[in-house]
Amino acid sequence: MVMGWVEAAMKEWQSAAARLAFVIAIVVQAVAAGAGWPQEAGQPRIDEEISKQDKIYRSRGADVPSGYVTGRALSDYAELLASGFCDALGSLSSSDRWLDVGAGDGQAILDYFALTDDRVPAEKCAGLAGRARAVALSIEDRRSDRWRQQADILGGDRLRYLSGQRLRHYSAEELGTFQIITDVYGGFSYTEDLSKFVEKVLSLLDIGGLFYTMVQSVHLEDGKGKLDGSYLTELVDAAGRDVKVCSWLKQTACVKVGCESKSDWDTPTELIKIRKVCSGVSVPPMKLLKYEAGYPPGRRFQLEP
């Protein structure tokens, strides 16, 4: 009799506790949504867009969207990277290393090794003689027959192609260090985690080494080339105010950042050159608020307070 009364009271207490826990969970969710935690609230959509983006990376043959260009020549790199790039590449010796992050077909690296070939037009970056060792890195494997032939001739020590994962998944031991890292419409324009991407790139540079990259449709350092809300990569501070990509990069410890704003190009484009000057690199962190698959994707990041 006494046991039956105790059990009934316990059951009553447990179901009241369960109801209370349920109500607390609902309230917490509502508060979280009201407080505007966009990353968590928007997560399923961001995940969907990242899957769409992966389909673009995996596309082959006729399925490759025409805007997803993977075969730019070294002369295109010379146009799209900050001034001084060709001289810096030309100054590398046989013990130096060049990493191209987001190399696509690796055409720029092939041109670097082929420039002594008379059939190659003497465009910008011509005559470099391909002395350094080069590594092409791409999420998807886009090696051509020409790449395979050239790799056979030069050997794996001078010409390497790495694929199958994003830059952030390689260890420092796997990649080693570099004197020059380039990125033309590569990881910098495509990554979902821009601060970690830059931090990883800088960790792979020797002190004194250079990172050349570029990004289109952004708020330019020189304040010109304004668009009506159609920026592809947007950065905002904790209060939601626009931050320029170069101003953000200049807050990084142990680097010297140079920016060349191209406001008269089809879309405002920033050409960025970063020199690593000491080893304690630390890039101000950001979280991803928006990602829309594309070539390049649309992204919005918020600086952590």
What is the binding site for ligand SAM (CB under 6 A)? 57, 68-72, 101-104, 137-140, 166-167, 184-187, 190-191
* Residue 255 backbone class (left: φ over 0; alpha: ψ -120 to 50; beta: rest): beta
Q: Residue 69 CB, nearest distance to ligand SAM (Å)?
A: 5
User: How far apart (Å, rounded) are the C-alpha atoms in residues 204 and 210?
Assistant: 10
Q: Residue 104 CB, nearest distance to ligand SAM (Å)?
A: 3
User: How far apart (Å, rounded) are the C-alpha atoms in residues 198 and 203?
Assistant: 9
Torsion angle of the four alpha carbons 283, 286, 296, 245, in this order, in degrees rounded to the nearest 10: -60
Residue (102 or 258) nearer to ligand SAM, CB: 102
Q: Residue 18 CB, nearest distance to ligand SAM (Å)?
A: 45
Residue (131 or 170) nearer to ligand SAM, CB: 170
- How far is CA 181 from each of CA 81, 184, 278, rounded to the nearest angstrom? 11, 10, 16
Q: Residue 85 CB, nearest distance to ligand SAM (Å)?
A: 13
Residue (145 or 228) nearer to ligand SAM, CB: 145
Residue (222 or 293) nearer to ligand SAM, CB: 293
Residue (63 or 242) nearer to ligand SAM, CB: 63
3-state secondary structure of 277: coil
User: How far apart (Å, rounded) are the C-alpha atoms in residues 289 and 39?
Assistant: 5
Q: What 8-state DSSP symbol labels residue 141?
A: -
Residue (76 or 260) nearer to ligand SAM, CB: 76
Residue (120 or 237) nearer to ligand SAM, CB: 120
Q: Residue 162 CB, nearest distance to ligand SAM (Å)?
A: 9
Contact 299, 232 (CB under 8 A): yes
3-state secondary structure of 199: helix
Alpha helices (H) along 120-256: 145-154, 172-175, 187-190, 194-203, 245-249
Q: Residue 235 CB, nearest distance to ligand SAM (Å)?
A: 18
User: How far apart (Å, rounded) are the C-alpha atoms in residues 83 and 191?
Assistant: 24
Q: Residue 212 CB, nearest distance to ligand SAM (Å)?
A: 12
Q: Residue 168 CB, nearest distance to ligand SAM (Å)?
A: 7
Beta-strand runs (E) in the chain: 97-101, 133-138, 159-163, 178-183, 205-216, 233-236, 242-243, 255-262, 269-276, 286-292, 298-303
Residue (68 or 289) nearer to ligand SAM, CB: 68
68 Cβ neighbours under 8 A, 6+ residues apart: 56, 59, 295
φ, ψ of residue 260 in degrees (nearest 5): -115, 110
